[in-house]
C-alpha cells in the first residue's frame, strides 16, 4: 500500500473538521456562527479567502436560513455542508425533518453543546438528541482524529444513492472542538478519490427535466414517503459498514458500528457517546487493574441505531449501564430506552441502569466513571442515576 496518509499535525477538533472540508472541496457552505462551532467556519472561510477551495461560502443571517439554503442548494445539485451547535441546531429544528424528507445528503458538523436554559456554552448532547427523530443520519467522534475521519466518511454514507439522507457529524463542544490533539490527516488527493464526485438525484438545476420538490402530501402519501426513509436508514447500516471497511484501507484506521473496549469477558459494561468513551476506557483500565471485569462501548453510528450490534454486545452481561449526556426530563436519558429495547427484543435482559451525567459541561472524571461501575457492582444503583447531583 502506498502512503496515503500525511504528516502528523497538532490541531483542534473544529480545525480538523474544516481541514477535512477543505480537502473535500464542497460546492456550497452556508453557516451562522455559534460557540463552539465557530472555528469550523472561521477556518473554512480562510480557505475560501485564500482561493484554496472552489466553494461558494455564504454568511447567512440565521441558522434557519443556513439549513434552508443548504437543503435547496443540495436539491439544486451542489455538495453542501454546514455546521452548528446548541441553540443554532434548535433554531434550525423546523428544517431538520424537512431536509431529511427532501432526501438531500447535506452534511452538518455539530459541536455538541447543551441547550438553554439556563444558557450554558459547554458540552452535553442535548442539542443533537433533539434531532434524533428527524430522519438524519448521526455519527459520533471520540477524539480529534475521529472528528476529521467522520467528516470524510460522512458524505460517503449520506450521498449513497440508496441512502440520500442528511448526516450529523458530532464532536463534543470544547472537549474536542477546542482541544489541540495530534492527528494524522490523509493527503488531499486520497480524500477526494475516497469521497468522489457529487452525483445528485433529480437536481433542480436540470431545467431540461423540470422536477417539483417538496410537494404537499395527503394522508395516502405522507406515511409511504416516511417509510421510504425507514428503508434508507436500514440500508445505511450496510452502507456504513462498507464505507468503514473502505476507509480502513486508505487510512489504516478501523471503525465499527459499535466501538468496544474490553467488553468480551466483562460482567459490567457501559455504553457512552463521544469523547467520554476515551475517559471511560481509562476508568475501565483502572478497574481491571483492581480486578473488576468491566468494559465500555460507543455506538459510532447513532442513527441508524445499530440494534443488532448493541444486543450482541450486551448478551450475557451481569449489568449494562447506559451513560446519557442528556435527559428527557420526566423519563430517562434518551439512549437508555433504546438500549433496553434492543436487548429485550433479542432475548434475556441483564440488569439495566441509566446514568445521567455531565450536563451543561459538568466535568466527569475517570474516578467518577469508576464510581459508576462500583455503585452498580455494590448493588447501590437506582434504575436511573444522576451522576454528581446531590439528591
Residues forming the site for another protein (CB under 8 A)? 27-28, 30, 54-56, 58-62, 64-65, 68-78, 80, 94-95, 98-99, 101-104, 164, 201-202, 204-207, 209-221, 223-225, 227-228, 231-232
Report the alpha-carbon angle 206-32-300, nearest 5.
80
CB of 198 to another protein, least distance (A): 10
Closest of 129, 124, 75 to residue 103, by C-alpha: 75
CB of 97 to another protein, least distance (A): 10
CB of 51 to another protein, least distance (A): 12
Closest of 377, 368, 355 to residue 292, by C-alpha: 377
CB of 75 to another protein, least distance (A): 6
Cβ atoms of 183 and 145 within 8 Å: the answer is yes
In the structure grid, which three cell numbers stand for residue 13, read together? 477538533
Closest of 12, 338, 249 to residue 144, by C-alpha: 12
Contacts of 29 (CB under 8 A, 6+ apart): 21, 41, 44, 48, 55, 56, 57, 58, 80, 81, 82
Cβ proximity to another protein: between 116 and 228 the closer is 228
Identify the three-state secondary structure at position 17: helix
Half-sphere exposure for 216 (CA within 13 Å, toward CB): 1
CB of 68 to another protein, least distance (A): 4
CB of 202 to another protein, least distance (A): 6
Cβ proximity to another protein: between 230 and 245 the closer is 230
Distance CA 136, CA 153 (A): 15
Bridge partners (DSSP) listed for residue 355: 323, 385
Cβ atoms of 101 and 135 within 8 Å: the answer is yes
CB atoms under 10 Å from CB of 367, counted, come to 10
CB of 297 to another protein, least distance (A): 33
Contacts of 24 (CB under 8 A, 6+ apart): 79, 81, 151, 152, 155, 191, 192, 195
Cβ proximity to another protein: between 51 and 118 the closer is 51
Cβ proximity to another protein: between 32 and 148 the closer is 32
Cβ proximity to another protein: between 25 and 371 the closer is 25
Contacts of 154 (CB under 8 A, 6+ apart): 107, 137, 139, 167, 169
Report the alpha-carbon angle 214-220-222, nearest 5.
40
Identify the three-state secondary structure at position 385: strand
CB of 214 to another protein, least distance (A): 5
Cβ proximity to another protein: between 6 and 203 the closer is 203
Cβ proximity to another protein: between 19 and 104 the closer is 104
Cβ proximity to another protein: between 134 and 170 the closer is 134
Cβ proximity to another protein: between 56 and 260 the closer is 56
Distance CA 176, CA 14 (A): 8
Cβ proximity to another protein: between 77 and 173 the closer is 77
CB of 236 to another protein, least distance (A): 13
CB of 21 to another protein, least distance (A): 14
In the structure grid, which three cell numbers stand for residue 222, read together? 405522507
Bridge partners (DSSP) listed for residue 63: none
Amino acid at each position: 500500500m502506498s502512503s496515503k496518509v500525511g504528516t502528523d499535525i497538532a490541531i483542534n477538533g473544529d480545525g480538523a473538521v474544516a481541514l477535512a472540508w477543505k480537502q473535500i472541496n464542497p460546492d456550497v457552505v452556508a453557516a451562522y456562527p455559534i460557540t463552539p462551532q465557530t472555528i469550523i467556519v472561521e477556518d473554512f472561510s480562510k480557505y475560501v479567502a485564500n482561493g484554496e477551495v472552489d466553494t461558494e461560502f455564504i454568511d447567512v443571517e440565521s441558522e434557519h436560513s443556513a439549513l434552508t439554503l443548504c437543503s435547496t442548494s443540495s436539491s439544486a445539485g451542489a455538495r453542501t455542508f454546514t455546521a452548528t451547535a446548541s441553540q443554532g441546531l434548535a433554531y434550525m429544528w423546523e428544517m431538520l425533518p424537512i431536509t431529511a424528507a427532501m432526501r438531500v445528503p447535506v452534511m452538518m458538523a455539530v459541536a455538541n453543546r447543551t441547550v438553554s436554559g439556563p444558557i450554558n456554552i459547554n458540552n452535553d448532547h442535548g442539542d443533537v438528541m433533539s434531532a434524533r427523530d428527524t430522519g438524519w443520519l448521526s455519527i459520533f467522534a471520540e477524539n480529534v482524529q475521529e472528528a476529521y475521519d467522520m467528516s470524510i466518511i460522512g458524505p460517503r454514507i449520506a450521498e449513497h444513492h440508496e441512502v440520500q439522507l442528511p448526516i450529523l457529524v458530532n464532536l463534543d463542544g470544547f472537549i474536542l472542538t477546542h482541544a489541540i490533539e495530534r492527528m494524522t490527516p490523509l493527503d488531499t488527493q486520497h480524500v477526494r478519490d475516497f469521497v468522489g464526485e457529487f452525483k445528485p438525484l433529480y437536481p433542480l438545476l436540470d431545467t431540461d427535466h423540470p422536477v417539483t420538490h417538496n410537494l404537499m402530501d395527503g394522508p395516502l402519501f405522507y406515511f409511504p414517503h416516511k417509510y421510504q426513509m425507514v428503508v434508507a436508514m436500514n440500508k445505511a447500516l450496510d452502507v456504513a459498514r462498507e464505507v468503514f471497511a473502505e476507509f480502513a484501507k486508505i487510512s489504516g484506521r478501523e471503525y465499527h458500528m459499535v466501538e468496544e473496549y474490553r467488553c468480551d469477558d466483562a460482567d459490567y459494561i457501559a455504553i457512552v457517546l463521544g469523547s467520554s468513551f476515551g475517559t471511560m476506557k481509562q476508568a475501565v483500565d483502572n478497574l481491571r487493574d483492581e480486578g473488576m471485569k468491566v468494559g465500555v462501548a460507543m455506538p459510532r453510528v447513532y442513527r441508524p441505531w445499530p440494534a443488532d450490534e448493541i444486543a450482541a454486545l450486551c448478551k450475557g452481561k451481569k449489568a449494562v449501564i447506559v451513560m446519557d449526556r442528556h435527559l428527557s426530563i420526566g423519563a430517562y436519558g434518551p439512549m437508555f430506552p433504546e438500549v433496553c429495547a434492543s436487548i429485550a427484543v433479542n432475548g434475556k435482559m441483564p440488569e439495566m441502569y441509566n446514568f445521567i451525567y455531565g450536563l451543561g459541561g459538568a466535568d466527569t472524571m475517570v474516578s467518577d466513571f469508576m464510581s459508576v461501575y462500583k455503585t452498580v457492582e455494590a448493588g447501590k444503583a437506582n434504575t436511573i442515576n444522576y451522576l454528581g447531583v446531590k439528591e
